[in-house]
């Protein structure tokens, strides 16, 4: 008898941990300039975005949403990026402005993830908690894109908090663009990065001593 035998929902995914592990390892950043057409079709994109709905969401506030930037709106996004750079740096060269504009054109599919820090009232569920939910939603989306065979990247930058970008997206006070999400066919990828090891990020609470690092040499079960 395993733990999942007891529960009908978990029984449906029993034995899938190796597949999940492979999926988690397969997701890596493939920067927009290495993403080629085609991006996901409408049905695939719907499945990718729908994956976000499985994210934990304290108070069911839905404190995030995604803005799809279709081909017809890429130029407007590029102009907002360029204008943001111009406002930040009035000395920016035409080449730098063109480069800022071009960032909006690179990936076949582009979404902007937005955090809604104020929706639904609930001041006890603060922006940090809401951002955790947004991060989970974004990762679900990246993993579904990976499962469907697409490369993906998150990109950020000062332009995301700029007035031109906020105006273009029509963001209300309390809403904040978190990152761009690029999707497409992998044209080239870097070797996978070295991932941190469990001892790099797991600590164990020891009564009276606070959270202590787990020894990499320890063979003891910290539980």
Residue 154 binds ligand FMN (CB under 6 A): yes
- 115/134 Cα distance (integer angstroms): 7
**How many whole angstroms from its chain centre is CA 136?**
8
Nearer to ligand FMN, 161 or 215 (CB): 161
Q: Which of 79, 155, 185, 186 binds ligand FMN (CB under 6 A)?
A: 155
193 binds ligand FMN (CB under 6 A): yes
User: Can residue 186 be called a binding residue for ligand FMN (CB under 6 A)?
Assistant: no
217 scored as a contact of ligand FMN (CB under 6 A): no
- 84 part of the interface to ligand FMN, by CB under 6 A: no
C-beta of 60: minimal distance to ligand FMN in Å? Answer: 23
Rounded Cα distance, 85 and 88, in Å? 5
Beta strands in the chain (DSSP E): 35-36, 64-68, 109-116, 151-155, 175-186, 203-206, 210-213
Residue in 64, 104, 86 with CA at minimum distance from that of residue 164: 86
28 contacts ligand FMN (rule: CB under 6 A):
yes
Binding residues for ligand FMN (CB under 6 A):
28-29, 31, 154-157, 178-179, 193
């Amino acid at each position: 008898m395993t733990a999942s035998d007891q529960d009908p929902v978990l029984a449906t995914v029993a034995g899938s941990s190796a597949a999940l592990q492979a999926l988690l390892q397969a997701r890596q950043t493939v920067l927009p300039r290495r993403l080629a057409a085609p991006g996901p079709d409408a049905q695939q994109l719907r499945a990718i975005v729908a994956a976000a709905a499985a994210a934990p969401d304290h108070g069911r506030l839905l404190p995030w949403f995604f803005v799809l930037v279709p081909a017809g709106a890429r130029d407007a996004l590029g102009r907002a990026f360029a204008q943001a750079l111009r406002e930040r740096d009035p000395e920016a060269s035409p080449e730098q402005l063109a480069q800022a504009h071009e960032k909006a054109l690179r990936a076949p599919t582009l979404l902007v993830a937005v955090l809604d820090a104020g929706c639904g009232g609930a001041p006890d569920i603060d922006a940090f908690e809401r951002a955790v939910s947004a991060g989970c939603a974004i990762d679900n989306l990246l993993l579904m894109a990976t499962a469907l065979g697409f490369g993906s990247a998150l990109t950020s930058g000062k332009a995301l908090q700029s007035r031109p970008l906020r105006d273009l997206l029509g963001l209300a006070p309390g809403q904040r663009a978190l990152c761009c999400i690029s999707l497409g066919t992998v044209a080239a990828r870097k070797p996978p990065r070295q991932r941190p090891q469990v001892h790099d990020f797991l600590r164990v609470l020891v009564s009276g001593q606070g959270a202590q690092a787990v020894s990499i040499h320890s063979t003891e079960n910290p539980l």
